[in-house]
Amino acid sequence: MGEKNEVRFPQEVIDEYAALGVDLPALFSAGHLGTRMGVEIKEAAADRVVGTMPVEGNTQPYGLLHGGASAVLAETLGSVGAMLHGGSGKIAVGVDLNCTHHRGARSGLVTGVATPVHRGRTTATYEIVISDEQDRRVCTARLTCLLRDVNPSDAARVRD
């Protein structure tokens, strides 16, 4: 848990961000929280983002996957999709997240798949379906992100 993985992006997207001095795969490593929780982004494009997270280490007192852990996975995947939709001139900021928990998971990996519901100029909304290893739906989430213009100070924070 916590190891960095290589995230797959279309080469033209990597090149666009690299021209700005941003290492896109490092940027979308799921951050410190995602690293602590074992989130791994397996596939990333504006129209589909896939990631996994172990149940172990992310449970509530009854031994079930914590609903907050599902929310972290959902917001991570939806935010990646929104950032890729917005392009290098925009930053995606989550403004609404809702999660419906359908069943518990006690072990293994859960996989989240984020797909767009709406991709506009100022907002992007993604549905994220989280399933267990038997392909049973554990959680359905919806994330809406505000797409705001990048400020010069944002670029410095992204590179650090």
Among 40, 75, 127, 133, the active-site one is 75
3 catalytic, yes or no?
Answer: no
3-state secondary structure the chain: CCCCCCCCCCHHHHHHHHCCCCCHHHHCCCHHHHHHHCCEEEEEECCEEEEEEECCCCECCCCCECHHHHHHHHHHHHHHHHHHHHCCCEEEEEEEEEEEECCCCCCCEEEEEEEEEEECCCEEEEEEEEECCCCCEEEEEEEEEEEEECCHHHHHHHHC
Give 126's strand partners: 116, 143
| CA separation for the pair 30, 25 (Å, rounded) | 10
Catalytic residues: 75
